[in-house]
């Protein structure tokens, strides 16, 4: 990850430091972009826009407020969400009534948790954008429902509801693919 000394050099306009910062953080930024942007053709543009925003805002990084990794994550996630909003002709999320958390089979949920990273990424690739964004923000990036609500300009109840629906979608999709595999179709 980017070191504090590299940030200071970037702020002084050192081109080698910008290149070092880019190379040091690129694997992390790419992992975030892959989780949020499933259209492979859009990923290079997303990475470019993230670095433009990141480098333009390096002066706002305060080491007393957190690690560089958190700063990079915030910029990358926010930019990915912005790009998803621009891409979609309809709202990324629509306000929904609160859904009670029930009917999730514990066995199915445990089976999903035991999947390999590649299998989970394949499942998430087919998930609707709104569900996937909430799922990623909450499960992977560790934001609270309150923080997600502020970020996406929705209520925390809608965030919780969308998260529940995302989990339910994963279980349903996993069960469907498991039953197809068990019958020898795949």
Q: Half-sphere exposure (CA, 13 Å, Cβ side) for 38? A: 13
Q: Which residues make up the CATH 1.10.10.10 domain(s) of the chain?
A: 106-182
Give the Cα separation of 135 and 52 in Å (integer).
26
Which stretches does DSSP call E strand in 1-129? none
Q: Which residues of 35-44 are buried (b: 16+ CB within 10 A; e: fewer)?
A: bbbbeeeebe
Residues 6+ apart with CB under 8 A from 135: 124, 127, 163, 166, 167, 170
Is 60 in contact with 82 (CB distance < 8 Å)? no
Give the Cα separation of 16 and 10 in Å (integer).
8
Give the Cα separation of 17 and 12 in Å (integer).
9
Give the Cα separation of 38 and 27 in Å (integer).
17
Question: Collapsing DSSP states into helix, strand and coil, what is residue 179?
Answer: helix
- pLDDT on residue 183: 46
Q: Estimate to the nearest angstrom the gap between the alpha carbon of 7 and the chain centroid.
A: 24
Q: Which residues make up the CATH 1.10.1740.10 domain(s) of the chain?
A: 4-87
Q: What is the CA radius of gyration of the chain?
A: 19
Is 37 in contact with 46 (CB distance < 8 Å)? yes
Q: What is the DSSP string of 88-138?
A: -SS-SS------------HHHHHHHHTS-HHHHHHHHHTS-HHHHHHHIII
For the domain made up of 106-182, give the CATH fold: Arc Repressor Mutant, subunit A (1.10.10)
pLDDT in tens, the chain (186 residues): 999 999 999 999 999 999 999 999 999 999 999 999 988 999 999 999 999 999 999 999 999 999 999 999 999 999 999 998 887 655 555 444 444 444 444 555 566 666 676 777 778 888 888 899 999 899 888 999 999 999 999 999 999 999 999 988 888 888 777 654 544 444
The CATH number of 4-87, from 2.40.50.140, 3.90.1720.10, 1.10.1740.10, 2.40.37.10, is 1.10.1740.10
């Amino acid at each position: 990850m980017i070191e504090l000394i590299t940030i200071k050099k970037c702020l002084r306009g050192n081109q080698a430091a910008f290149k070092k910062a880019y190379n040091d953080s690129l694997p992390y930024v790419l992992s975030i972009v892959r989780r949020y942007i499933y259209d492979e053709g859009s990923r290079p543009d997303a990475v470019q826009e993230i670095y433009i925003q990141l480098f333009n805002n390096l002066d706002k990084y305060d080491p007393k407020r957190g690690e560089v990794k958190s700063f990079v994550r915030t910029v990358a996630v926010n930019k990915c969400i912005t790009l998803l909003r621009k891409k979609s002709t309809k709202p990324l999320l629509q306000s929904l009534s609160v859904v009670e958390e029930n009917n999730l089979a514990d066995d199915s949920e445990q089976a999903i948790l035991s999947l390999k990273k590649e299998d989970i990424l394949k499942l998430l690739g087919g998930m609707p954008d709104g569900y996937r964004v909430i799922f990623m923000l909450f499960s992977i990036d560790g934001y609270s429902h309150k923080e997600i609500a502020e970020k996406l300009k929705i209520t925390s109840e809608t965030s919780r509801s969308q998260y529940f629906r995302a989990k339910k979608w994963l279980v349903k999709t996993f069960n469907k693919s498991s039953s197809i595999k068990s019958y020898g179709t795949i």
